[in-house]
Amino acid sequence: MEKSIVKDQLNRPLRDLRISVIDRCNFRCTYCMPAEKFGPDFAFLPKSELLTYEEIELLAKIFVGLGVEKIRLTGGEPLLRKDLPILVKKLAELDGLKDLALTTNGVLLPRLANDLKEAGLQRVNVSLDSLNDELFGKINGRNVAVQEVLNGIKAAKEAGLFIKINMVVKKGLNESEIVPMAKFCKENELQLRFIEYMDVGSTNGWKMDDVITKKEIYEILKAHYLLDPVDPDYYGEVAKRYRYEGTNVDVGFIPSVSESFCSSCTRSRLSANGQIFTCLFNGDGHDMKAFMRSGASEDEIRNKIIDIWSGRKDRYSDERTEETARNRKKIEMSYIGG
């Protein structure tokens, strides 16, 4: 399929699409969906407010035609969406899509990993913020044991899915787990990504003082391992990657607070309720669901997406201050994924 490459106001091409398929989650992680905010009475989206798989497929097809090469499915917890392998199969068959991935807490992978792989999923990013049961139970807000996630990682590996481990590091919470996590991933040949604690949404009480920077994590690791820098695989790659000397195992950092990568950001996001967001930190979405359901043609939908991206000028991480972090309107992580 011939692609029509669209660029934004800062000449950044559209290359990546994150699709949140559901706003619900079986965890209540303190940095994403804290239990005190997302309690038993919290009103999640009804099924009618979620995009159908056919609507997602159409939007994804149009995005791929405009330059998108990578799609990642997110949530909430995407594996809670019923019959997800059906959607994966639809997306995997899109002509021109090079990479199809999914971010998950891993608990449901033992049941679904094989079906997802057979449907065409290529890789999973599994969130795991500690290997200590007590601490992990505190972080996930549900007292879920580490072993449940490890079972999911094992199932994904046996299914033939490529695996990355995502660890959000927050000062005063889990910095003691940096070296144990690195050791575990190195020994099990798992790609690890340390993620700086970000001010996503407005419910996690983010403060700059809670951030452990990429540089600080790197210095901790350097005391234990020899690390060789790795060149980026593609334009807009977010992770700053290193390789443990003498191995083929990478460790990477997502430094979205301490080292902005706005200048090469190529990601658009589609929320669980059908809105396009041009930045993880921009709370002003563009309602595609209502537009599609009003009877818009495929060409009209395509032109609207072109208008949205070509008007994009977001560079929030370049401009972040304590004040903007507190006062800027943002979308919650549970609607937009990572």
216: helix, strand or coil: helix
Q: What is the pTM of this model?
A: 0.92
- Tracing tokens 């977001």 back to the chain, one arrives at 314
Residues with Cβ within 8 Å of 54's Cβ and at least 6 positions away in sequence, in order, are none
Q: Is the backbone peptide bond immediately before 236 cis, with ω within 30 degrees of 0?
A: no
Q: How many CA atoms lie within 13 A of 80 on its CB side?
A: 19
SS3 readout for 101-145:
EEEECCCCHHHHHHHHHHHCCCEEEEECCCCCHHHHHHHHCCCCC
CATH superfamily of 16-336: Aldolase class I (3.20.20.70)
Which residue type, as a one-letter code, is found at position 284?
D
As a whole number of angstroms, the distance between CA 48 and CA 332 comes to 20
Mean per-residue pLDDT pooled into runs of 10, the chain (338 residues):
81 96 93 86 93 98 97 96 98 97 98 98 98 96 97 98 96 95 97 88 71 95 95 81 94 86 89 92 90 98 97 80 58 69
What pLDDT does 307 receive?
A: 97
Q: Which of 69, 43, 110, 14 is nearest to 334 (CA)?
A: 43
What pLDDT does 230 receive?
A: 93
Torsions phi, psi of 331, nearest 5?
A: -95, 145
As a whole number of angstroms, the distance between CA 196 and CA 20 comes to 21
Decide: 143 and 104 in contact? Cβ < 8 Å. Answer: no
**How far from chain centre, in Å, is Cα 66?**
21
Going 65 to 66 to 71 to 74, the CA torsion angle's sign is negative
What pLDDT does 315 receive?
A: 84
DSSP run (H or E) holding 252: strand 250-254
What pLDDT does 323 receive?
A: 57
What pLDDT does 325 receive?
A: 53
Q: Which of 19, 3, 53, 94 is nearest to 277 (CA)?
A: 19
- Say which DSSP state 262 is in: G
